[in-house]
Chains A and B, each alone.
Chain A
Amino acid sequence: MSKYESMNFSKVKALIVDSDQFAVEILGQILEGFGLPEARSTDNTESARDILLEGKFDLLICEAMLKDGPGTSLVRWVRSQANPRVRYMPVVMLTGHTQLGYVESGRDSGVNVVVKKPVSPMVLFDRLVWSANSPRPFIETDTYVGPDRRFKFMGLPEGGGLRKTDLDGDIGEATEPNLSQDEIDGFMKPARMMVFE
């Protein structure tokens, strides 16, 4: 989409948490392509917590299945922090296993989006921009802290979109029995339609 606004990733500080060193390398190159000079990474939740406590990060990209436990436990920890920069930071969960239960588990831990592996640069770019710019509020209850789940994403607008910051293009592809990226997006926000203004 030629009219799409430029996005400046040059000062974004991202933390990648993934036990797969090759996935980290690939993701790092994707982010570098976006203009993000260097992402920090770690392969376990314990060191991720220590790093995040520095309070310097704008984005967390976390694999759903880490060697020392589920990525969802890290996300729940993030959402329990008092520092708003940590508590409300955009969290992208990556997973190669997109059966409904895995996506549901990610959503209910408080992630902003779930992205299917192997990561497509276009899908990741769109989800990052959407996570940053969406007016979606945070909901805090005794059992859940995270982006409002009562929210239905009806897909990206066709053509040029209704406003210049809207996105277009196809996203994801279906591979049974896993959910496609479209189905994941739809499932993340199951109950109310999002109106593009």
Chain B
Amino acid sequence: MKKSESARVVYYRNSLHYLLNSGGGTTREQAVAAAHRNVESLAVDLLPLLHDEISQLEELVSAAPESLTEDVLREIFHRQSVIYNLAGTFGCEGLLQVSASLGDLLADMIEFNLRPKEPIHVHVRAARMFALDMPPVLDEAQAALINHLAHVREFLRSEARGKSPV
């Protein structure tokens, strides 16, 4: 807020406050435990869909031009978010790390208006390695792969140096 701006201070008790404190309900421990159970029960249905999500991401990237458009980039961002959330929710650590790296890459690309497809392609290939129907990746190989992806991001950032965020 600028110093010249006038500010109104409002004290307002929202309806959520009254409802949560209306008596009855469950304790924090009970609520959190029940939520965990409910989420775990979804794993049977949702985990197999990770394969499809990776496939859709592969198709999207493969069909995209070498210099990505804004719309394609946002669609990739959406697909990445889906994979990241599913992998994180259900404990697919390798896929979580790859999709997190892809998310960071996409954020950089949007911020610095960079549009090359190849860094994304590298991440998508890595994501496929962690699909549930693939052989398990050894810890050392996983660490090396994540490190490689970090280098890919750093390389892109080095290209962005000197460019102002859009």
Which residues does A use to contact B, with CB under 8 Å?
1-2, 4-12, 19-20, 22-23, 25-26, 29-35, 58-59, 65, 67, 84-85, 88-90, 96-97, 99, 101-102, 117-119, 121-122, 124-126, 128-129, 131-133, 135, 137-144, 148, 167, 175, 177-178
Contacts and interface: CB of A to CB of B under 8 A. Distances in A.
A125 B6 CA distance: 35
Contacts of B23: 6, 8
A2 B29 contact: yes
B22 A11 contact: yes
Nearest to B34: A33
A175 B46 contact: no
A7 B26 contact: yes
A76 to B, nearest CB: 15
A161 B11 CA distance: 25
Given A118-B84, A132-B14, A96 B5 contact: no
Given A101-B111, A167-B28, A26 B20 contact: no
Give the interface centre of B34, B35, B36, B107 by most chain A CB atoms within 10 Å: B35
Chain B contact residues: over half helix, strand or loop, or mixed? helix
A25 B14 contact: no
B88 A33 contact: no
B134 interface: no
B21 A7 contact: yes
Given A8-B22, A11-B22, A25-B46, A125 B111 contact: no
| Size bracket of the B interface | 35 or more
Interface stretch (B54-62, B74-82, B115-123, B135-143): B74-82
Nearest to B46: A22
B8 interface: yes
Interface of B: 1-2, 5-12, 14-17, 19-29, 31-39, 41-42, 46, 49, 74, 77-78, 81-82, 84-86, 88-89, 100, 103-104, 107, 111
Contacts of B27: 2, 4-7
Given A6-B23, A32-B35, A126-B28, 13 more contacts: A5-B27, A8-B20, A8-B21, A9-B19, A9-B25, A22-B85, A58-B16, A96-B84, A96-B88, A118-B85, A138-B9, A139-B1, A141-B8
A6 B89 contact: no
